Every structure is written in structure tokens, then in C-alpha cells.
């Protein structure tokens, strides 16, 4: 997965979570969600739930692997600078910041997912 597709995937996930959170926080929009749900029943029937969850799982695993790669790359660069094998301190710092930012973004996505899940669980049926 290249960097652009990972960023696009993260942005799509954040957008979906933001819309889910706005729906959960606005009880007046529940009717519109209900209407949209009835309209999309045909679409859901056509697509397999197992396929969708598998695709989501693959996407999530891809993002986690990318964050892990950033962390490993930053660690390698920092270790090389510490051992005197490299004098690229700026590159090591940038790699470290990139890894830190990507990890923070992943944690924010996780927190949003947990928050939205809790909101859905608390909704009356």
C-alpha cells in the first residue's frame, strides 16, 4: 500500500466516523438514517457482510502495518545515528516525527471508533 492510498483510506475512515458521530449526537437525524437504511436494504442484500468485514479488516490491518513500518524505519534511523553509523540527524528526527504522527492518528481513529460504538450501544431500540 502506498502512502497516498493509506492517507486516503485514513481520511475516508475519519469521514465515516464523523458522520456516524454526528448522526449519533443528533436525534432528529435518526429518521433520515432510518429512511436511508430502508433504501439501502437492497444494496446490503446484494453485498455479503462477510466480504465487507473482510475488506474492512484488510484495510485496518494495512493501516496498522504501515504505522508499524514507520515506527521500525524511525527506530532504525535513530539507532544508526546513536551508533555513529549515520550523521543524518534531520532524517532520523523527521522519521521519528512521522512515526509519532501516524501513531497518534491511528489512536485517534481507534478512539473515535470506540466512542461511536459506545454511542450505538447506548441507543434505544
Tens of pLDDT, residue by residue over 32-44, are: 445 544 444 445 4
Within 13 Å of residue 26, how many CA atoms lie on the same side as its CB? 11
- Residues 72 and 77: their CA atoms lie apart, in Å, by 9
Tens of pLDDT, residue by residue over 33-76, are: 455 444 444 454 455 555 666 788 888 899 999 999 999 999 99
Question: What distance lies between CA 92 and its chain's CA centroid?
Answer: 25
17 C-beta neighbours (distance < 10 Å), count = 17
Report DSSP state, residue 86.
-
> What is the three-class DSSP state of 1?
coil
- Residues 115 and 53: their CA atoms lie apart, in Å, by 19
> What is the three-class DSSP state of 110?
helix
pTM given for the model? 0.56
Amino acid at each position: 500500500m502506498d502512502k497516498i492510498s493509506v492517507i486516503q483510506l485514513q481520511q475516508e475512515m475519519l469521514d465515516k466516523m464523523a458522520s456516524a458521530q454526528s448522526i449519533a449526537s443528533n436525534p432528529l437525524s435518526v429518521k433520515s438514517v432510518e429512511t436511508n437504511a430502508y433504501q439501502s436494504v437492497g444494496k446490503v442484500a446484494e453485498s455479503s457482510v462477510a466480504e465487507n468485514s473482510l475488506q474492512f479488516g484488510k484495510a485496518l490491518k494495512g493501516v496498522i502495518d504501515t504505522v508499524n513500518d514507520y515506527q521500525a524505519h524511525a527506530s532504525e534511523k535513530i539507532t544508526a545515528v546513536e551508533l555513529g553509523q549515520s550523521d543524518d540527524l534531520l532524517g532520523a528526527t523527521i522519521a521519528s516525527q512521522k512515526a509519532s504522527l501516524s501513531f497518534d492518528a491511528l489512536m485517534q481513529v481507534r478512539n473515535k471508533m470506540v466512542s461511536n460504538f459506545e454511542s450505538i450501544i447506548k441507543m434505544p431500540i
